[in-house]
Structure 1
Amino acid sequence: MSRLLWLAALTLGAALGPTQGAVAQERAPEAAQQDAAASDATTEATHQVSRLISQKFGVAREKAEQISAAVMSAASKYSLPPALLLAIISVESRFKEKARGANGATGLMQVVPTAHKQLVRHIDLTEATANIEAGSAILHGYVQSARGDVGAALKSYGGSKAYAEKVSLRAKAFAPQFGSDAAADADTETARD
């Protein structure tokens, strides 16, 4: 990755001229260090969450690592707080991949295949990564439809205000695993109707 940044800085330097190019080249290593620090922080958060899932929910270590990595990836892709995704999984399935619920709800995030036919057509919803990806995409769609109101999106996802409040409380419990800003991100403003 740092080699790619260095090449980009050289290319940018040639396009910008000698003075501006030198500035771009100086910033490339700094950007690489910032990327590495962010990656290290994400890796550490993934390991902390994995340990929590293993200890609190009895999930095997390797499976907990897979779930944690899938949550972090989906959270990043869909701009959702990881604590929120973990809270949904906790409430919906207690981290049991093969969980089955009402209306055919399946897997960790209890995705209902009949309600989301196009999205889950060729997906094994009992596979952790696929289920988290699908559930996160669905939640992201609800957040967009609700114009960013996560509380309203959770009501759509789970069917009630009580569900939204329960997930919000659970998200706050998971938030410390992600640092101080995560608690604010996990606040879903469910007090509003």
Structure 2
Amino acid sequence: MSRLLWLAALTFGATLGPMQGAVAQERAPEAAQQDAAASDATVEATHQVSQLISQLISQKFGVARAKAEQISAAVMSAASKYSLPPALLLAIISVESRFKEKARGANGATGLMQVVPAAHKQLVRNIDLTEATANIEAGSAILHGYVQSARGDVGAALKSYGGSKAYAEKISLRAKAFAPQFGSGTDAGTNTETTGD
């Protein structure tokens, strides 16, 4: 009797195996379609946020529409690449240069994020820091390096970027003003409290 049960189980298992494979094969295209739809939705959401940001930059800071779109796209790209909140990058740009690409500051600070070439020679070699995308890329890479050095403490990283606790607090407040543009579904995390002087 047990031999008969064993044979039945073997036969049933042999029949069920290909059926499970067929079900999995039927689900594979569905899963791929769902993944593609989710990816398309993410791209569309990012594009919509980018458009909102470019409108804000254009209206509030008087930047030409095409240039505002370029800046917005560069911010979204750098934020994604360096795991930084877009609102934080926008806050730095608004405080540092008021969205003026050719802005010049102390110590040779240049461009939107006021990158100081002498302090970051290796990173900015052969880069036109007055070009929006290059400047945002360089400034974001620098800030990312400071965040890593500070073990994730964004406030300490901002202190390193701008030179003072007051700077970090100013950027934090400005980032909070930009954060609503990103809606509740987007990580606009702007917790930049500092942990010391």
Same fold (TM over 0.5): yes
Instruction: After TM superposition, give the deviation of residue 86 of structure 1 in Å.
Output: 0.4
Instruction: After TM superposition, give the deviation of residue 15 of structure 1 in Å.
Output: 20
How has the CA–CA distance of structure 1 residues 111 and 28 changed in structure 2, closer, same or farther, with 3 Å as cutoff? farther
Which 10-residue stretch deviates more, 14-23 or 82-91? Answer: 14-23
Percent of pairs identical after alignment?
Answer: 91
Alignment RMSD: 9.6
Structure 1 gap ranges (5+) = none
Instruction: After TM superposition, give the deviation of residue 5 of structure 1 in Å.
Output: 42
Instruction: After TM superposition, give the deviation of residue 190 of structure 1 in Å.
Output: 2.8
1:4-43 C-alpha deviation (Å, 9 max, x unpaired): 9999999999999967766765666566666666666666
Say if 1:87 and 1:170, in contact at 8 Å, map to a contact too: yes
Which 10-residue stretch deviates more, 139-148 or 37-46? Answer: 37-46
C-alpha separation in 2, matches of 1:19 and 1:89: 58
How has the CA–CA distance of structure 1 residues 44 and 183 changed in structure 2, closer, same or farther, with 3 Å as cutoff? same
User: Which SS does the other structure have where 2:188 is aligned?
Assistant: helix
TM-score under structure 1 length normalisation: 0.79
Say if 2:70 and 2:132, in contact at 8 Å, map to a contact too: yes
Say if 1:6 and 1:29, in contact at 8 Å, map to a contact too: no
1:27-70 C-alpha deviation (Å, 9 max, x unpaired): 66566666666666666666666000001000111101100000
How has the CA–CA distance of structure 1 residues 191 and 4 changed in structure 2, closer, same or farther, with 3 Å as cutoff? farther
C-alpha separation in 2, matches of 1:185 and 1:73: 16
How has the CA–CA distance of structure 1 residues 88 and 5 changed in structure 2, closer, same or farther, with 3 Å as cutoff? farther
Number of equivalent positions = 193
TM-score under structure 2 length normalisation: 0.78
What residue number does 1:38 align with? 38
User: Which SS does the other structure have where 2:147 is aligned?
Assistant: helix
When Rg is computed on C-alpha atoms for both structures, the one with the higher figure is 2
How has the CA–CA distance of structure 1 residues 113 and 87 changed in structure 2, closer, same or farther, with 3 Å as cutoff? same
What residue number does 2:180 align with? 176
